[in-house]
Amino acid sequence: MSNQTNGPTGQLPFYLTSATPNAPANRAPWYKNTAPTYAGIFLWFVFWQDASTTQAGFLGGTLAQGVGVCLLALVISALICHYLFYLVPGLLGMKTGLPLYIVGTSTFGAKGGFLMPGFLMGILQFGWLGVNVYFSSLALAAMIPVDPRIIMVIWGLLAAFVGLKGIQYVGKVATYIPLIPLIALIWLFIRTVGSVGSFDPAKFVVAHRALAPDAPAQLGIAGVIAAVLTYVVGFFATAGAAGADFGMNSRDKRDVSMGGLLGIALAIVVTAGLSMLIVAGVYGSPEMSARALALGGERKSLILDSFNLIPVVLGPGVAKWVMFLLAVAAFPPACFSAFIAANSFKTTLPKVSPFISVGIGAAVSIFLGVTGYAGKVIPVFVIIGASFGPICGAMMVDYLKSNGKWTGPRAGFNPAGWISWALGFVVGILPNLGVDVPAAPVLAFIVGAVVYYLCAKIGLESPVVPLPGSAPQPAKPGA
């Protein structure tokens, strides 16, 4: 089953034969689409608030070994997200002008690509929209005298509408609104930075033990790094694969690279890093620490996330407004999820009106929010990382062995892709089954990459079936 063997175009489904590359005239610089939209995802308070609460059941969370170890873990996570999960899909999208659900068929097959990454991406994005709907509406309801379930319905429908309009509209929404959480983070950081140097992880763990005497012992250095990797990479996995959708709107390789380095890597370190330093600053200050411990005593748990420490830093009155504005600023990430889901269904179900497919998905998202199922985010991150870690790993190997170009779709269900995904998913999902696997999303990526390479070596790739009227061309030098 050599990758040079070409089959008849009749093997291609309609969603492939009807695909049209995005024209160069429709593309824009990285600072107008990729970077602001990705940065808006990481400025979402649901992401950065938990930079220090990951594995919160363990004493001290990810601050148990101090500020330096946690920052190092964030930098490693940021680089992995950019270079391993985003860059190859982004380059494929830029070189072909085609979305993930088309370029992914070289790895998973013309028929297999319909299900993965195509349909799977759309389904998981509506899960993300449900998480956004749930947390944002609860925060808004603290200031608006309206049942949060009503807000959830309005929030979900508006996000779905903007996502349907396309990346240019999502980019417009994401250009200025993310300044709200950035300003909030800087404000909180300024108020707490003076006591970051006084933060003592040993005292922090003792304080946690006093409130939660039955909590597991604190994580070691390797445990902290693994916990942060699981959280950050699991959060980002689907957005990384969606880099193809951003790449098809990028002009050249520099747009892809700069969009990722600033919109992803830098955004992770800045947002999660500031959040973590805010928590350290609160517990490094005798006055703020006393207030935080008192509030934690009322809740019978040490408060480890920066969002719930806002009243401690700014006072209850100001905090209500800040938390309200942070909820408003969560709208761009909601639009991003809806946009990726819409792209998925528009591509894989071209004969179905996107208003119907996306409308059904939005209804499911709202249901997840209203019922509260969307509130359990950490297990969701593990599932997403397990699903898309091996997808990104297999796509990277497929890209590299094809000398940096897209081969075109492969016939049917490409065995190499599906075997690599299945084995990677099994490894990635083990934490949700009670098996301790450190940095499971990253390990799932590695397993997917290695298995795809081995399968390709022994000939388990189905033949290439070129798209009608076009043949994959090598990228231009410097593209």
Structural domain spans, the chain: 9-457
Q: What is the pLDDT of residue 167?
A: 56
**pLDDT value, residue 409:** 93
**Nearest one of 344, 416, 420, 430 to 386, comparing CA atoms:** 430
Nearest one of 129, 42, 45 to 369, comparing CA atoms: 129
Residue range 219-237: mean pLDDT, rounded: 93
Higher pLDDT, 443 or 6: 443
- Three-state DSSP at 201 gives helix
- Residue 238: the pLDDT is 86
Q: What superfamily would CATH give domain 9-457?
A: Hydantoin permease (1.10.4160.10)
DSSP letter for each residue of 56-114: TTSTTGGGTT-HHHHHHHHHHHHHHIIIIIIHHHHHHHHHH---HHHHTHHHH-TTHHI
pLDDT above 70: residue 321: yes
Residue among 291, 328, 380, 268 at smallest CA distance from 43 = 268
Q: Residue 168: is its pLDDT beyond 60?
A: no
> From the CB of residue 457, how many other CB atoms can be counted at a distance below 10 Å?
11
Structure tokens at 41: 């995802």
Q: pLDDT confidence of 13, banded at 50, 70, 90?
A: confident
Over the stretch 74-128, which tens digit does the pLDDT of each residue have? 999 999 999 999 999 999 999 999 988 889 999 999 988 888 887 787 788 888 8
Say what the pTM is: 0.87
Residues 335-359 have a mean pLDDT of: 77
238-292 pLDDT, tens per residue?
889 989 989 999 999 999 999 999 999 999 999 999 999 999 999 999 999 999 9
- Is pLDDT at 477 greater than 50 in this prediction? no
Report yes or no: 296 and 266 within 8 Å, Cβ to Cβ. no
Model pLDDT, residue 275: 96
Q: What percent of the chain has pLDDT over 70?
A: 91
Alpha helices in 300-376 (DSSP H): 310-314, 316-328, 331-348, 354-371
Better-scored residue on pLDDT, 340 or 223: 223
The answer, yes or no, to whether residue 476 has pLDDT greater than 80, is no
Q: Which residues contact 279 (CB under 8 A, 6 or more apart)?
A: 51, 52, 63, 304, 305, 306, 309
Q: Rounded to 5 degrees, what are φ and ψ at 5?
A: -80, 130
| pLDDT exceeds cutoff 70 at 31 | yes
Q: Across-strand partners of 410?
A: 464
Q: What is the pLDDT of residues 378-419, one digit of tens each?
A: 666 677 778 889 999 999 999 999 999 999 999 999 999 999
pLDDT tens digits along 172-217: 665 677 788 999 999 999 999 999 999 999 999 999 998 888 888 8
Q: How far apart are CA 123 and CA 105, in angstroms?
A: 18
DSSP 3-state of 464: strand
Please return the burial class of 194, using the count of CB atoms within 10 Å of its CB with bins 0-12, 13-18 and 19+. Answer: exposed
Task: Choose among 139, 124, 251, 241: nearest CA to 184.
Answer: 139
d(CA 381, CA 230): 8
Position of tokens 């995904």?
421
Q: What percent of the chain has pLDDT over 90?
A: 48
